């Protein structure tokens, strides 16, 4: 597993529950229950005990718990066993370990803006 460059600056423990909007920089680890929205330019780590009902937008997401919601990552999504994801995921790099439950659609887009700007001219 890739080392996290960001230092964890918030932690939602195993026996905690939180509802609302979560936005942060750096890295946050959730091991409890969360319901709402998550937005960050940093890293989100969801431990094995995490149960999250949220649409998530982050740079890097590491999931070992349970997520109900759509996930958008700018760099990568890692889903490790015994992770469970129920929703659509989108990232340029996606890794899903054996033993993971994933129900949804996966879209892996290219991060380059140049790809969209290429025009093909066909002459008959």
- DSSP characters over 69-122: S-EEEEEEEEE-TT-EEES-EE-SEEEE-TT-EEES-EE-----THHHH-----
- What kind and span of H or E run contains 63? strand 51-63
Cα–Cα distance between 124 and 35 in angstroms, integer? 56
pLDDT at 8 over 80: no
Q: Is residue 37 part of a domain?
A: yes
Q: Is residue 112 part of a domain?
A: yes
Q: How many domains does the chain have?
A: 1
The answer to which of 7-11, 17-21, 64-68 has the lowest mean pLDDT is: 7-11
Q: Is residue 122 part of a domain?
A: no
What integer pLDDT is reported at residue 9 of this predicted model? 78
Domain assignment of residue 70, given as a range: 8-117
For 5, phi then psi, to 5°, come to -70, -35
pLDDT at 114 over 90: no
Q: Is residue 22 part of a domain?
A: yes
pTM of the model: 0.81
What integer pLDDT is reported at residue 83 of this predicted model? 97
Q: Is residue 93 part of a domain?
A: yes
Arithmetic mean of pLDDT, 22-47: 93
DSSP assigned state of 48: T
């Amino acid at each position: 597993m890739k080392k996290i460059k960001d230092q964890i600056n918030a932690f939602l423990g195993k026996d905690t529950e939180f509802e609302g909007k979560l936005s942060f920089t750096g890295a946050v680890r959730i091991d409890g229950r969360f319901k709402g929205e998550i937005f960050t330019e940093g890293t989100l780590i969801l431990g094995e005990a995490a149960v999250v009902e949220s649409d998530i937008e982050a740079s890097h997401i590491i999931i070992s718990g349970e997520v109900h919601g759509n996930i958008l990552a700018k760099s990568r999504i890692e889903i490790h066993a015994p992770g469970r994801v129920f929703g659509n995921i989108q990232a340029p790099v996606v890794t899903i370990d054996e033993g993971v439950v994933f129900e949804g659609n996966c879209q892996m887009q290219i991060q380059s803006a140049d790809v969209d700007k290429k025009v093909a001219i066909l002459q008959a």
